């Protein structure tokens, strides 16, 4: 039987359908996404929840002339399929495939590139103001979730838009959950609105928005009617739409956190496909289990995360010691300064933020923490290459943008035991801030729950002794070097600390070896290798130094192994580089 979706390549074909056929199209679109994500993996629940809304927007508005901006982009799979990418959607998030997020240079229907939350209102407002200045008559639509709209940047956009005359439509997709359940006073307010219990004036009307809703986000006919009405109204408007994340797949509806990005699953039943073999833990779980272990013996420890309790595994502390673990919502700036405030009062805050999201709180790290030399412990999850999420999520800049900040200690554990030990050491009292950066995914050690050992700040270690070349590394990239240097007459040193560097060890290395090589999973510009080059310059060493790392470009999506092969950071490539250096020295 011919499916409606088979004939849809772009919104042009979509708009030829009769309204009564659109529920069938919605069902087919859901099935299409489920069948591909079940085997290819990706973000599932968010896109399933906005299928009717996606169809309605493209049916009513003249995209791409009318500009549609998705917030974050987790929910944009249906949008991608309906906008000329149906036949290549099976390459989603894969090497040389399409991005898992809207991306301007990928398709004309992607009006703005997104991957971090809460940018859609500001971007859409900027576009609307530009259209006004150019005398253009366009619609500008921002779709934002109830978790994202609680972020400070979204409030800033609302505050400005409310006093503008911009032709802007904000669609609030309210499903009470982001990656984890939404938190905060605004979430409670929206819940009261949905239940018809709000006592205050409508907050959005108070900000000068023409507010409508809440309406059922799965009633496609009503959605189309309301969007058509809103097209005729000028100025800033907000449509409050209520949806269910994971709609159409029972498992995804019932387990919304798990099915945000579930991995492989059975497309018919929704059951996850599990690999039951024993393997090392994820680094995030080492953090999560260790902070609970430490917090039980040190009542000054608190945990903070900006809306990532599951992704960071702070959820374990939230379950077992909830009075000392805080999800502050999508508010990285607030999370950092909150931690700073706690530190002034003698608490020991572990502030867990993904590396790529700490970029959003750079001023707070400098002004509120480092300048005041407050002992905040930053745990940067997802540092280095993260894989299929691509350019918006790779944590490859943190060494560079943090290394220049005075008072900071920066540490990269080589394995799970190192991570536990630096967390233990940090909570003993360093009297200054520390950054601990570790990667996404699993480590290498199954017996990682070893007794704690206090580390000496600024002290590295020798992993392998040779005579021809000294290789210097920080972090988990050391495992690739260990494999690369089997049977080679080279030395390998794990510096552990990017700041402060182990000057005693480095002086010995520079005196003993003519040739050095640094390896890191950070960008080469200003990273660990740059720190070694600066050390050499400062002390007038003339050694030959080869720097390996992430090149000066934005890395796209692919598996971590594929991306490492692409830039010469896999074991085979590192070995080839070593051999080239050795061949030039003989």
pLDDT by residue (tens digit) across 250-303? 888 888 888 888 888 888 888 888 766 778 899 999 999 999 999 999 999 999
Average pLDDT, integer, range 335-359: 97
pLDDT above 80: residue 197: no
Q: In whole angstroms, what is the distance from residue 326 CA to residue 2 CA? A: 51
pLDDT in tens, 399-438: 999 999 999 999 999 999 999 999 999 999 999 999 999 9
Residue 40 token pair = 């290819």
Q: What is the DSSP letter of 360?
A: G
Contact 526, 400 (CB under 8 A): yes
Does residue 449 form part of some domain?
A: no
Q: In whole angstroms, what is the distance from residue 433 CA to residue 457 CA? A: 12
Does residue 134 form part of some domain?
A: yes
pLDDT band with cut points at 50, 70 and 90 for residue 55: very high
Instruction: Name the active-site residue from 80, 237, 244, 245.
Output: 245
Last residue of a domain, one of 437, 452, 487: 437
User: Which residue from 423, 417, 422, 421 is spatially nearest to 447, judged by alpha carbons?
Assistant: 417
Residue 257 token pair = 């956190």
Cα separation values, 213 from 75, 162, 198, 528, Å: 21, 18, 13, 52
Which tops the pLDDT comparison, 536 or 189?
536
Q: In whole angstroms, what is the distance from residue 175 CA to residue 445 CA? A: 39
In the chain, what percentage of residues exceed pLDDT 70?
A: 98
User: Facing residues of 434 across strands?
Assistant: 377, 409
pLDDT in tens, 119-169: 999 999 999 999 999 999 999 999 999 889 989 899 999 999 999 989 999
User: Which residue from 330, 321, 361, 325 is spatially nearest to 342, judged by alpha carbons?
Assistant: 325
Mean predicted lDDT score pLDDT of the chain: 93
* Poorest-pLDDT segment among 168-177, 221-230, 281-290: 168-177
Q: What is the CATH number of the domain that holds 507?
A: 3.40.50.920
Contact 344, 300 (CB under 8 A): no
Residue 483 is a catalytic residue: no
Instruction: Name the active-site residue from 332, 388, 416, 520.
Output: 332
Strands (E), 366-460: 377-381, 409-411, 434-437
Average pLDDT, integer, range 298-327: 95
Determine how many CB atoms are found less than 10 A away from the CB of residue 168.
27
Kindly give the interhelix angle for 220-231 and 22-40, rounded to the nearest 10 degrees.
Answer: 110
Residue 323 is a catalytic residue: no
Strands (E), 186-298: 210-216, 237-242
Report the predicted TM-score, pTM, of the whole model to 2 decimal places: 0.92
Q: Domain range holding 520?
A: 461-585
pLDDT band with cut points at 50, 70 and 90 for residue 1: low
User: Which residue from 222, 36, 42, 237 is spatially nearest to 140, judged by alpha carbons?
Assistant: 237
Contact 83, 109 (CB under 8 A): yes
Does residue 164 form part of some domain?
A: yes
Q: Do 84 and 207 fall within a single domain?
A: yes
pLDDT value at residue 186: 84
Instruction: Name the active-site residue from 103, 187, 360, 499.
Output: 360
pLDDT above 90: residue 362: yes
Q: Do 219 and 301 fall within a single domain?
A: no
pLDDT above 60: residue 527: yes
Does residue 394 form part of some domain?
A: yes
Cα separation values, 215 from 96, 153, 195, 385, 419, Å: 39, 25, 12, 41, 48
Measured over the CA atoms of residue 195, residue 201, residue 204 and residue 208, the dihedral's sign is positive
Does residue 456 form part of some domain?
A: no
Q: Do 413 and 494 fall within a single domain?
A: no
pLDDT value at residue 196: 72
Does residue 316 form part of some domain?
A: yes
Q: Do 91 and 215 fall within a single domain?
A: yes
Q: In whole angstroms, what is the distance from residue 317 CA to residue 292 CA? A: 5
Residue 245 is a catalytic residue: yes
Q: Residue 427 contacts by C-beta under 8 Å, 6 or more apart in sequence?
A: 294, 298, 300, 301, 348, 350, 377
Q: Do 190 and 292 fall within a single domain?
A: no
Q: Do 298 and 389 fall within a single domain?
A: yes
**What are the φ and ψ backbone dihedral angles of 41, each rounded to 5 degrees?**
70, 170
Q: In whole angstroms, what is the distance from residue 155 CA to residue 416 CA? A: 39
Q: Do 555 and 422 fall within a single domain?
A: no
Q: Do 227 and 350 fall within a single domain?
A: no
User: Facing residues of 81 across strands?
Assistant: none
Average pLDDT, integer, range 372-384: 97
Q: Do 380 and 469 fall within a single domain?
A: no
pLDDT value at residue 488: 96
pLDDT value at residue 532: 98
Q: How many H helices and E strands in the chain?
A: 24, 17
Q: In whole angstroms, what is the distance from residue 318 CA to residue 337 CA? A: 20
pLDDT band with cut points at 50, 70 and 90 for residue 170: very high
Does residue 232 form part of some domain?
A: yes
Q: What is the CATH number of the domain that holds 372?
A: 3.40.50.970
Q: Do 203 and 324 fall within a single domain?
A: no
Q: Do 253 and 287 fall within a single domain?
A: no
Which tops the pLDDT comparison, 395 or 43?
395
pLDDT value at residue 566: 96
Does residue 335 form part of some domain?
A: yes
Q: Do 340 and 243 fall within a single domain?
A: no
Q: By CB neighbour count within 10 A (0-12 exposed, 13-18 middle, 19+ buried), where does 172 fall?
A: buried
Number of domain units in the chain? 3
């Amino acid at each position: 039987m011919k499916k409606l979706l088979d004939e849809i390549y772009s919104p042009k074909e979509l708009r030829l359908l009769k309204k009564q056929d659109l529920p069938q199209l919605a069902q087919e679109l859901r099935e299409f996404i489920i069948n591909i994500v079940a085997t290819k993996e990706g973000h599932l629940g968010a896109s399933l929840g906005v299928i009717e809304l996606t169809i309605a927007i493209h049916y009513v508005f003249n995209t791409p002339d009318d500009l549609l901006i998705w917030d974050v982009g987790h929910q944009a799979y249906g949008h991608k399929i309906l906008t000329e990418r149906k036949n290549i959607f099976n390459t989603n998030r894969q090497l040389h495939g399409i991005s898992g997020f809207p991306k301007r240079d990928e398709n004309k229907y992607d009006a703005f590139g997104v991957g971090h939350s809460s940018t859609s209102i500001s971007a859409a407002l900027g576009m609307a103001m530009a259209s006004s200045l150019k005398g253009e008559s366009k619609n500008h639509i921002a779709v934002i979730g109830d978790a994202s709209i609680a972020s400070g940047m979204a409030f800033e956009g609302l505050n400005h838009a409310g006093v503008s005359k911009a032709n802007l439509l904000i669609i609030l997709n309210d499903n009470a959950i982001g990656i984890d359940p939404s938190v905060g006073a605004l979430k409670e307010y929206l819940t009261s609105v949905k239940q018809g219990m709000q006592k205050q004036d409508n907050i959005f009307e108070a900000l000068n928005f023409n507010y409508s809703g809440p309406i059922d986000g799965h009633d496609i006919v009503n959605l189309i009617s309301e969007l058509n009405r809103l097209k005729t109204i000028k100025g800033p408007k907000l449509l409050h739409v209520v949806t269910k994340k994971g709609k159409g797949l029972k498992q995804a509806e019932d387990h919304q956190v798990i099915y945000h990005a579930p991995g492989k699953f059975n497309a018919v039943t929704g059951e996850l496909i599990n690999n039951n073999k024993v393997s090392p833990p994820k680094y995030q779980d080492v953090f999560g289990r260790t902070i609970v272990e430490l917090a039980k013996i040190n009542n000054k420890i608190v945990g903070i995360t900006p809306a990532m309790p599951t992704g960071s595994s702070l959820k374990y502390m939230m379950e077992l010691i909830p009075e000392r673990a805080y999800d502050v919502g999508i508010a990285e700036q607030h999370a950092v300064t909150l931690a700073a405030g706690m530190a002034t009062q003698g608490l020991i805050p572990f502030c867990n933020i993904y590396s790529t999201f700490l970029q959003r709180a750079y001023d707070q790290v400098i002004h509120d923490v480092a300048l005041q030399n407050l002992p905040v412990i930053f745990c940067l999850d997802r540092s280095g290459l993260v894989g299929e999420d691509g350019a918006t999520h790779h944590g490859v800049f943190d060494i560079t943008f943090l290394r220049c900040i005075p008072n900071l200690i920066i540490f990269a554990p080589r394995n799970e035991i190192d991570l536990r030990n630096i967390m233990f050491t940090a909570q003993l009292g360093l009297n200054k801030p520390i950054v601990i950066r570790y990667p996404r995914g699993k480590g290498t050690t199954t017996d990682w729950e070893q007794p704690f050992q206090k580390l000496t700040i600024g002290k590295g270690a020798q992993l392998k002794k040779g005579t021809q070349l000294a290789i210097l590394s920080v972090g988990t990239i050391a495992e690739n070097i260990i494999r690369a240097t089997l049977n080679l007459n080279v030395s390998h040193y794990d510096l552990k600390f990017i700041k402060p560097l182990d000057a005693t060890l480095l002086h010995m290395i520079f005196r003993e070896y003519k040739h050095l090589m640094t390896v890191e999973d950070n960008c080469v510009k200003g990273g660990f290798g740059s720190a070694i080059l600066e050390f050499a310059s400062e002390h007038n060493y003339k050694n030959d130094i080869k720097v390996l790392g992430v090149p000066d470009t934005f890395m796209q999506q692919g598996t971590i192994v594929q991306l490492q092969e692409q830039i010469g950071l896999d074991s085979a490539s590192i070995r080839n580089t070593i051999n080239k250096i050795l061949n030039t020295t003989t």
